[in-house]
Amino acid sequence: MPQPRMMLVVTGDDFGYCPRRNRGIVDCFLAGGISNVSLLVNASAAKDAADLAKRYSIPIGLHANLSEGTPVCQSLQASTLTNQCGFFHGKMGFRQALERGQLSMKQVELELRAQVRLFIELTGHLPHHMDGHQHVHVLPEVRDVFAQVLSDLRIPYTRVPVEPGLHSCTWLPAHLHRFYMQVEKDALDSIPVFSRYGIRWPDVYLGLTTMGQNMSIHSLQRALSHAFAAGPSGTTSSSASGSSQPVIKAELMVHPGYPSHPHEGGCGEGPDDFSQSAERQHELNVLKDPSLLALYSQERVQLCAFKDL
């Protein structure tokens, strides 16, 4: 490929969730559809996932989880982070407990550090990057603890989910659009915190508008167009031309896999509807499509991992 216009990290989230998700993610990597994975260390097939990453040399980071399943830190089984059954409060439950001031940030820190330790035990190295399952890492208060942990442990990269084109996205259901807009607000508010701690992230984030059934060659092409328009560090690059144009660094978040079987996988409560959905295989099929790989080549998009940025 000539000089790339974009270095694109395509991250398969939820690695370790169940054997079928693992197999789909590996198949996607081997087909050139993803270039990076994010591991849920508290998921039922996390060890299998870590072993697969070693076997196939898959670049791997940590998908820090404070919302689904059970804590890794044994002392937090009964804590502000868990309900009466010992499970995390859930995607919205975590946010509600945070808003009510019911979560201990000291316990958040203990759990994040425990998850990094387990990641190292499973993989043999520090994560190349660390983000949050269901975007918990950009939430108020949590973001400060998260940044402190990354800074202390010298984990260089995270994810800032601010997606160009989200505001003009008309095909998302209203409840999802509202949730994504709140994620974006939280992410924007996280930028000064992450900057203060010296944490880095790619220039452009993609993935909210192309998830599940909304993923297609056309939607990914549109997302790439928005990324090119945003330019490096989210600034317009219209004035740059030819070889002088700086290379854009971007991340595309994806969730490919073979759908989970009921009662197999998850983080302690069994697999959720998201993981059992046929949309997981739909994403896998699109990401492996030779016409998408041809589009990358045509647009001079080079897939890479966080460690290559």
Contact at 8 Å (CB) between 32 and 6?
A: no
Taking Cα atoms as reference points, which of 42, 41, 46, 36 lies closest to residue 16? 46
The 10 Å Cβ neighbour count of residue 276 is 19
Separation between Cα atoms, residue 256 and residue 287, nearest integer Å: 8
Burial state string for 182-213 with b = 16 or more CB within 10 A and e = fewer than 16: ebbebbeebbebbeebebebbbbbbbbbbbee
What separation, in Å, do the N-terminal and C-terminal C-alpha atoms of the chain show? Answer: 17
- HEC states along 158-218? CCCCCCCCCCCCCCCCHHHHHHHHHHHHHHHHHHHHHHHCCCECCCEEECCCCCHHHCCHH
Active site residue 13: yes
Which tokens sit at 72?
Answer: 């890794």
Q: Exactly one of 13, 14, 131, 186 is catalytic; which is it? A: 13
The residues carrying an active-site annotation are: 13
